[in-house]
Amino acid sequence: MPGRGRAMRRLRRLQERPSPADKRSVRRTRVAAALLVAALVVLAAIPASAAGVEAGSYVHGGFYPGDGFHSTADLDALAAATGKRVSLGGTFMAVTEDWGRPADPNEWSNTREKIDELWRGGTVPFVNLDFPGATAAQVANGSWDSRIQHWVAHVKLYLNKGGGRALIVAPLQEMNGKWTSYGCQPAAFKTAYRRIVQIVRGQGLDETRVRFAWAPNGWTDHGCGSIHDYYPGDDVVDLIGISAYRWAEESVYQVMGAIIDDLAARYPRKPLIIAQTAAWPTGSKQQWIRDVFDWAASHPHVVAVLYFNFNKETDWRVWKNGQLDPGWRDGMRKSTTVYQHPLSSWFEKGPLYLVGKPGKDLCKEGHAKPCDTVVVRESSGLFQIFQYAASGFAKVTKSFVYGRPGDIPLVGDWDCNGTETVGLYRQSDGFVYLKNSNSAGNASISYYFGRAGDIPIVGDFYGDGCDTVSVYRPSEGRFYIINDLRGGKADFSFVFGRIGDKPFVGDFDGDGTDGIGLHRESTGLVFFRNKPSAGWADSEFVYGRAGDKLIAGDWNGDGKDTVAVYRPSNGMLYIKNKNAAGNADAQVWIGPIDGLASMAR
């Protein structure tokens, strides 16, 4: 991020500043802060009357049976072969399904029977509602109102059978592609979608009976704008579901991960569903399906995955002629794949929100050292301190306002009493403002150090139990280290890395003294020294992706600081308990933010 940097801080084990003789016997941890690029979005409190969909540690399975009029038998047989039922049953239906046929409970109804077959198969129906031959403009201007009303009358035949029956409707699915008659018309689509919702609601079917899903394709056709151009509004969207198919040898993230991350960052309180997915028949299909279940269960916004079990463009099926794909079987049998019927909490009165249980604390039982947590700051000055570093969702335990827009957040033990508190660095003029409490109010300490444009770093580089604010000068690639909370000349300086690298600080070897590191954001290269000095890196590896923002902390209490990267595109923090390349040990959703820090608990 041009012109921005990271602020670093250290955790103190001692409650008093050690004497010089004690300095080298002290073993502590250290944590880091980083200034990031995205604007903070503070999530509004969920109204007491809202309904909730839990996510973050499990996922519901879903399935499209091949024959809509025999779905119950197909779903029953699938469950027997799998050993577990799916929670959602998918179908495709034309709004003209029963056009010309009276909505009479004593007469046949395609709509009623197709939807009820799914319900009797132990699933909540997920209905993709098509408008054959219609343009979005025609639906938007009311030309299809009578057909919609007639379809709703037939839906009521299903709902009136009672037993808690409900359904999810995805009107005009895949509207961001040119292969549909109503596609590639964003303005008209939004009006049409809203009109459909209003007609259904106007027929007395509220959110306790019908929920609505906005269901775009995972990629948008060239010339059709952005996927977000089609979003019809929070008030008419209960869930977001995408179509994402594996047409070649692609990873789960390539097929669906990137767009899901984008949607999660843009609509953080909306439950996300993979409304249609399937894999081209290749040798890696089985493992890819297993990976989909793992990925979906670990993603804090994804609540369900529905498999498209059809022989269409190719034979996508995982269930055919009584034979079950082992990948589907294994994915469904995972403990993180759950079954529930009915999905009662999804159809409670009020708006539908994503509800994330606080994630699992990463701090080990019986840990030798204190563990670190996460602190974020918005551009307006609001600090939020999380309960602990976790996998899943983060929980805020304290918030307060301090500083001005544009200030860089710092965290450290300024008075050597063993408690981490906040501070600020005003990059425009080099002023430092530190507080000895985590609260609003005036600074406890203020002074000038460095030059305009310097990046502050915080650490205990002398092992004396106290944090100080030093700086990294990007124009020179030079660190200026000082051992007191004062202005004036640095105690020493040195060059390390390249101009443009971003600094971070940590006790990487657990010896009680901080070292320095650099992160090359363009490539994800991480390298550091265990001491604040020039020379060859003691360790280097690649972690994360281009554009990620790096911090460090002792997440598991083993006495050594390890890296984590924040991804502005999806609001996720990916935490490692070892300074090495590879997959994250945990990921936590904290949302779009402006500043990030790690802090001693």
131 plus 218 within the same structural domain: yes
Q: What is the pLDDT of residue 158?
A: 98
Q: What is the CATH number of the domain that holds 512?
A: 2.130.10
pLDDT tens digits, one per residue of 69-110: 899 999 999 999 999 999 999 999 999 999 999 999 999 999
Mean pLDDT, the chain, as a whole number? 87
Tell me which residue has tokens 């269409």.
312
- Any domain includes 115: yes
User: Cα 588 to chain center, whole Å?
Assistant: 7
Tell me which residue has tokens 């027929």.
203
- Any domain includes 49: no
492 plus 391 within the same structural domain: yes
- Any domain includes 199: yes
Q: What is the CATH number of the domain that holds 106?
A: 3.20.20.80
**Token pair of 521 as six digits:** 């954001």
Rounded Cα distance between 1 and 410, Å, is 17
**Token pair of 269 as six digits:** 């309180």
- State whether residue 456 is helix, strand or coil: strand
Count other C-beta atoms under 10 Å from residue 47's C-beta.
9
- Any domain includes 53: no
Name which of 164-168, 431-435, 568-572 the model is least confident about.
568-572
404 plus 303 within the same structural domain: no
User: What percent of the chain is predicted at pLDDT more than 90?
Assistant: 68
* C-beta separation of 36 from 566 below 8 A: yes
Tell me which residue has tokens 């409304």.
275
Query: What would the mean pLDDT of 374-389 be, rounded to a whole number?
Result: 78
18 plus 90 within the same structural domain: no
- Any domain includes 3: no
Cα dihedral value 106, 110, 111, 117, nearest 10: 90
Report residue 56's pLDDT band, with 50, 70 and 90 as the boundaries: low
Report residue 570's pLDDT band, with 50, 70 and 90 as the boundaries: confident
More confident residue, 405 or 51: 405
218 plus 250 within the same structural domain: yes
What is the tally of structural domains in the chain?
Answer: 2
Among 218, 232, 298, 296, residue whose Cα is nearest residue 267: 232
114 plus 262 within the same structural domain: yes
* Among 310, 327, 350, residue at a domain's last position: 350
394 plus 525 within the same structural domain: yes
Q: Position 34: which residue type?
A: A
Paired with 319 in beta bridges are: 324
More confident residue, 10 or 438: 438
Burial 490-510 (b: 16+ CB within 10 A, else e): eeebeebbeeebbbbbbbbbb
Count other C-beta atoms under 10 Å from residue 16's C-beta.
11
* Among 350, 374, 406, residue at a domain's last position: 350
- Any domain includes 134: yes
Count other C-beta atoms under 10 Å from residue 526's C-beta.
25
440 plus 584 within the same structural domain: yes
Q: What is the pLDDT of residue 24?
A: 27
291 plus 420 within the same structural domain: no
Identify the domain containing residue 596 by its residue range: 8-42+358-600
- Any domain includes 321: yes
Please tell me whether the overall predicted TM-score, pTM, comes out greater than 0.85 for this model: no
423 plus 550 within the same structural domain: yes
* Among 301, 321, 350, residue at a domain's last position: 350
Per DSSP, 25 falls in state G
Q: What is the pLDDT of residue 35?
A: 30
Measured CA distances, 242 to 197, 219, 273, 274, 376 (Å): 19, 9, 7, 5, 30
Name which of 12-16, 301-305, 366-370, 540-544 the model is least confident about.
12-16
* CA angle centred on 200, ends 197 and 201, rounded to 5°: 85
451 plus 400 within the same structural domain: yes
Tell me which residue has tokens 């033990």.
413
- Any domain includes 372: yes
Q: What is the pLDDT of residue 397?
A: 80
419 plus 500 within the same structural domain: yes
* C-beta separation of 166 from 159 below 8 A: yes
Per DSSP, 46 falls in state P
- CB contact set of 301 (below 8 Å; sequence gap of 6+): 55, 260, 263, 264, 268, 270, 271, 272, 354, 589
pLDDT tens digits, one per residue of 507-565: 999 999 999 999 999 999 999 999 999 999 999 999 999 999 999 998 888 899 999 99
